[in-house]
């Protein structure tokens, strides 16, 4: 007899928080993600505080932010510095713990507490992060078994590239379909005597943008949104200048931008259908009514906003993510939630990926370790209109000397660049697209937000970005040369046949 609730964590990769119908996007088709929001609580101020794959996923696994992990940038080969992980804590409490899809942890086959892992790593050769060749992930081996060896990347679109092409193999061989199929099989093959923790970790909509034609057809007659451009882009920080040069933001044609948007939208709609298959499998197995869902993404994507593509910065598109917590459809009076609880609400407190681990522990009825950076979101789920998880969150990305920082309370957002002390201040409550920089407005609370960041950094043992309570930049030349820009262009990690 299972006396604990099942937990299904569903993540996408590189999905912005505004690419859902429930977030007010009237064009994108996400009816099943919207169902989770209508049945639970959506957090509209959810952030990835180190918004790139490896550190973001390490935060999900450990409940620790990038600074505590010693990981504030993209670092292949990085092994988690702790054995206290989400799957290990749940496994020790009797849960069956399984993951299907992308992990992006190192060593890649290290289970970190999972009973089983089926990996789909977006074309990354296993072992490459440590200078070794250990073959291909489970998905690529399976594609070979189906009679298409070496052809998973035959579409010719590279990882991190913003070109788009429809999927080139039979629909059933698409990585999103593989992750959905194996997530459903995992549910059906579970140990009936234990509660299940399943992490269904979709690789979409992270490039390569190779959606199914059936999903592209859905947007065939639609005009795609256009990237927005703020009044501050003529003074991009050095970091933003590097992003623009690497991903060639200024060189993209309207056709290329339109194509990329269609690829993102169609890929998310495909994931949305896959989520409904997982919900349906739980229903047919008779355990949907005892299952909690958490839905989120590791980070977003700028998608051309303010001339920027990719992630790894603190404009809205890159760092603001979807986060939905959905309790079981039917609840006993004595359950975690009180009778009379109303679903479909929105909480406005700033939250982040560091809160996933403690929330899962609280759902399982387990104690939350004191030394985590995250906090359980169950209080906010119980009382979404009144509970405030925290006052602010701190984002940090980059190596020391070249970092960007963000502090936000969900109403104001302050961004500071360590290299040359460029700064941005947005009143996001009235300006959610971050079109108007208020850092030069004499009536804006700029000094207050500078002090908030300086205070947070000053609580650390030693951070070179702050001295005597004041932010200290490196004060480099604030503009790249044409030579530097030309040598930053990325080749996007192409894959061929093998």
Residues carrying an active site annotation? 53, 104
Give the span between the Cα atoms of 259 and 242, in whole angstroms: 24
Q: Please count the CA atoms within 13 angstroms of the CA of 194 that sit on its side-chain side.
A: 17
Secondary structure (DSSP) of 154-168 = TT---TT---B----
- Residues 6+ away with beta carbon under 8 Å from 383: none
- What is the token pair recorded at 213? 């034609």
Q: 254-284 vs 175-188: helix axis angle to the nearest 10?
A: 10
CA 99, CA 114: separation in Å to the nearest integer? 7
Cα–chain center distance at 434: 20
C-alpha separations of 300 from 17, 310, 438, 480, 498 in Å: 7, 8, 24, 26, 31
Under 8 Å CB-to-CB from 237, ≥6 apart: which residues? Answer: 404, 417, 419, 420, 422, 478
8-state DSSP, 320: B
* 3-state class (DSSP) for residue 129: helix
Residue pair 154/169 in contact (Cβ under 8 Å)? The answer is yes
DSSP states of 273-286 as a string?
HHHHHHHHHHHHTT
How many other CB atoms are there within 10 angstroms of residue 99's CB atom?
26
Rounded CA-CA distance 308/281 in Å is 40
Continuous H helices in 154-289: 175-188, 213-218, 238-247, 254-284
């Amino acid at each position: 007899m299972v006396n604990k609730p099942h937990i299904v964590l569903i993540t996408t990769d590189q999905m912005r928080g505004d690419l859902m119908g429930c977030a007010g996007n009237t064009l994108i088709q996400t009816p099943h993600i919207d169902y989770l929001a209508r049945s639970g609580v959506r957090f509209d101020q959810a952030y990835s505080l180190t918004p790139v794959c490896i550190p973001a996923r390490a935060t999900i696994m450990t409940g620790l932010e990038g600074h505590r992990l010693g990981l504030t940038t993209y670092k292949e080969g990085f092994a988690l510095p702790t054995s206290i992980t989400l799957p290990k804590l749940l496994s020790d409490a009797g849960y069956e713990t399984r993951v299907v899809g992308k992990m992006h942890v190192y060593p890649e086959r290290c289970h970190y507490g999972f009973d089983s892992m089926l990996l789909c790593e977006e074309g990354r050769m296993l072992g490459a992060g440590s200078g070794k060749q250990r073959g291909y992930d489970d998905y690529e081996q399976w594609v070979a078994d189906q009679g298409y060896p070496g052809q998973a990347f035959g579409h010719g679109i590279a990882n991190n590239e913003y070109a788009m092409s429809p999927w080139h193999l039979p629909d059933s061989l698409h990585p999103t379909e593989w992750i959905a199929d194996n997530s459903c099989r995992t549910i059906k093959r579970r140990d009936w005597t234990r509660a299940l923790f399943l992490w269904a970790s979709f690789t979409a909509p992270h490039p390569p943008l190779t959606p199914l034609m059936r999903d592209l057809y859905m947007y065939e007659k639609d005009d795609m949104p256009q990237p927005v451009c703020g009044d501050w882009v003529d003074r991009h920080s050095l970091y933003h200048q590097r992003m623009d040069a690497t991903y060639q933001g200024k060189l993209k044609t309207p056709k290329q931008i339109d194509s990329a948007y269609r690829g993102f939208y169609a890929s998310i709609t495909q994931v949305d259908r896959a989520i409904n298959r997982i919900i349906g499998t739980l229903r047919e197995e008779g355990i949907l009514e005892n299952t909690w869902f958490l839905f989120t993404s590791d980070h977003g994507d700028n998608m051309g906003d303010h001339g920027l593509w990719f992630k790894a910065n603190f404009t809205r598109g890159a760092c603001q993510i979807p986060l939905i917590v959905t309790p079981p459809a039917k609840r006993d009076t004595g359950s975690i939630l009180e009778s009379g609880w109303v679903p479909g609400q929105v909480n406005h407190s700033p939250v982040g990926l560091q809160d996933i681990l403690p929330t899962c522990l609280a759902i399982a009825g387990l104690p939350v370790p004191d030394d985590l950076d995250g906090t359980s979101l169950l209080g906010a789920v119980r009382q979404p209109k009144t509970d405030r998880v925290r006052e602010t969150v701190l984002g940090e990305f980059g190596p020391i000397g070249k970092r960007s920082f963000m502090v936000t309370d969900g109403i104001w957002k302050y961004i500071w660049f360590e290299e040359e002390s460029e700064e941005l201040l947005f009143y996001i409550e009235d300006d959610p697209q971050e079109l108007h920089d208020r850092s030069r407005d004499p009536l804006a609370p700029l000094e207050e937000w500078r002090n908030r960041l300086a205070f947070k950094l000053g609580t650390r043992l030693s951070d070179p970005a702050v001295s005597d309570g004041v932010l200290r930049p490196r004060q480099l030349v604030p503009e790249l040369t044409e030579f530097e820009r030309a040598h930053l262009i990325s080749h996007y990690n192409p894959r061929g046949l093998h």
